[in-house]
Structures are given as structure tokens and as C-alpha cells.
Amino acid sequence: MTSVLPGSADAAGRRATLGVMGGGQLGRMFVHAAQRLGYFTAVLDPDAQSPAGLVSHHHIQTAYDDPAGLAQLADLCQAITTEFENVPAEALQTLAHTRPVAPGAAVVGIAQDRMAEKAHFAACADVSGVTCAPYAVLETPAQLQAIQENRADLLPGILKTARMGYDGKGQVRVRTAAELAARWAELGGTACVLEKLLPLTAECSVLVARGCDRQVASFAPQRNVHVGGILAVTHAHEGNMPPALATRAREAAVAIAEHLGYVGVLCVEFFVVDDGSEYGRLVVNEMAPRPHNSGHYTLDACDVSQFDLQVRAMAGLPLPQPRQHSPAIMLNLLGEVWFDANGQMQEPDWHTVLSLPGTHLHLYGKMHARAGRKMGHLTITGPDVVSVKRVARRAAELLGLPGLDAI
């Protein structure tokens, strides 16, 4: 892959342009990172009000699989990425016929399907040193019967749809064989995996960037707290995890990316399971072929953000090892923050929140707030972990955020 140099132009004098499939907040932050380096940007998203489309040089307002839209994106751009894993893998394959696409359609396709994803984790367990939770595939009534009769060890468990599940969607807990059958029927008998419910003590994630030249950069693991299946708090500071466990997670994430031949930014999420040992055992949960909500703190606490690395990886530029200069805690801002106790719309008290030291507010430009919708995030940085935690607790109190006891 030839580097797409910042500020360069083609024979017709057009400025170097980087494209992104998807117009959400991740695309918006990618666009900002690319523009800081002098690139033009193009976004393909069907929503006229998409956050990334509103700030990009070009917004191609078509469906993700529209041939004319894909042709226009390919014509405009020198390289293309995606901001979410559920863009059709076939569309990325079409673009790859004429343009570098990172990550590629094959690895995005693996991340789109929990069955393929778990098979990949199993295939690279020897090199990554981690396994996924015990599980079984459920696609047919015969497989349901086999699980009921022979896999009692998987219950209680979590039934997850194989595709289109995120932020807790498409997931239900099941305790008995009868409950498993009932919940699978409620999901329409769609392809699922049944995972054994494990005794979790923590959750963490690792961000890895890998270039087409196999150069790798990564961030230290961040510890995550979820409420209702949606990320609420991310701890990115010294002491957020035992050092030995953090090193293991980082090495495992890099090994998973290497095994995929990945190009771009990859987030690998892990469970920490209580196995009776001092620190617990790492279990790989899932991966996202893109920057991740848990890595947003890198915008304010690191000299190079996850989005800077996404731009560099897809453009074939050097990947510096990021340096975190401040301890940080990130608080997710969901649509509930914009409503009072009576369900009436209200603007959050940003004046008071921003009067707190070390607060960095990022709003995503979404026009309408609703429950569970990611509207923005607040990152708190400071000179030490104690002061960061103190400010984060106060900010969470002012905004009525969940997960306060986890700060």
C-alpha cells in the first residue's frame, strides 16, 4: 500500500481524501482527526443529519450497499475505512477492488458474526494465551435439543444473537433448558450462541493499531463498567488493573490482531473471571474492527488518539507508540441526561460541569436525545488519580449518571 501523504493531491489537483463508511460519532471523530492532518474527507451514510456527514467535506447520502454511492466514494477517496462493524462486508469488498480498505471485508465479516468471531478466538488461543467463554452454537431445533440434553454445563448462560447485537441488544440470560427454548423462540429462532455465565470481577478492553507494514502500536488496557449492557465508565489510569493482568491483556490483543492480519484500529474486550487466583483469569469476549467507546479518553489524555492512529493506519503513515500524559476517567453521556425526573426535556447544566477542573466535554452533534442513545462523553483528566476520581464523582452526581459507585 502506497502512503497517502497529508496535503498531497492527485493529477487533477484534488486534495488527498480519506473516506469512511458510516456517519455516527466514531466517524465524526475520525473526520476531525483526518482534517487536522490536512486530509479532505468523505462520508457515506444515508442519514442527512449524520454527525460525521455534517462535518465532512463530502457527504454521500445513500444506502451502504448502493452501487452508485460506493462508486462515488471510491472515485473521491484514496483510502477508505469503516466506523462500525455492521456495514455490509460485501460493500467493503466492492470498494477494495479499486481502493485500499482498512480493515478489510474478511475481518469485518468475522466481527459481524459471533460464531465466526468465537471460532477465530479459538483458532488463535495458542498464540494469544486466552480463550473465550464456553459456548455452543444454536441454529436449529436439533442443536437446541443437543444443548438441552448434553450441555447442562452452559446453564445458567447468556443467549446472544449471532449478528447485529451490541450495547446489550440481542442478549438474554437463561437459567434452565426450558427457559433457553422459550427465549430462543422469542428471538425468532435466529442463529445464536449460548455462552456460559462466568463469575466476572471486571471488564477491560485494549486498543491496537496495526499498519499494512505490520507495524503495531497499542494503548494500555482500560477498565470498563457497564450499566444495562451499555458502557458507563472507563478507567484509564495507573492502578485500574493489576500490572501482570494488564500486560497479558495487551499481549493477547496484539496477538489476535496479528493472527487476523489486521490493518487499522481494533478493540478487543476481555472479562476478568474469578478463578481463585490472586488476580483472576482473562477471557476474551468480543472485538470491534474500529475505534471504540472505551478509547475516547485518548483524545484528551494521550499525545496520539485512537482516531489519529486510525487515520495513520489507513493512510500508510508511521504508527507512533502512544504516550498517556494524564490519568483519565471517561463518563458516557446517554440520552437520559437530557430529561428530568418527570421525563421533560432539559439541557444539562454544562456551565457547572465545565467549571470542574480537568473536564473535557465532547458532544456528537445528534439532533434528538432518547434513552440509551450515545449523545456524547465527558473525560476528566488531572495530575493524579485521586483528583481525577473526585472530579468524576462530582460530575456524575451533577448529571445524574449511573455507575457512580464504580468511580
Known binding-site residue numbers for ATP: 114, 160, 165-171, 195-198, 203, 226, 285-286
In contact, 88 and 65? CB cutoff 8 Å: yes
Q: From its phi and psi, is residue 130 left (phi > 0), alpha (psi between -120 and 50) or beta?
A: beta
Q: Residues within the annotated binding site?
A: 114, 160, 165-171, 195-198, 203, 226, 285-286
Helix/strand/coil for 260: helix
Residues 6+ apart with CB under 8 A from 305: 29, 33, 295, 298, 299, 322
363-367 long-range contacts, CB within 8 A, separation 24+: 363/333, 364/24, 364/25, 364/28, 364/51, 365/25, 365/28, 365/51, 365/54, 365/55, 366/25, 366/51, 367/49
**Which residues, 6 or more positions from 384, have their beta carbon under 8 angstroms from its beta carbon?**
327
C-alpha distances out from residue 314 to 210, 263, 310, Å: 9, 7, 6
Distance CA 392, CA 44 (A): 36
Residue 175 cell numbers, joined: 437459567
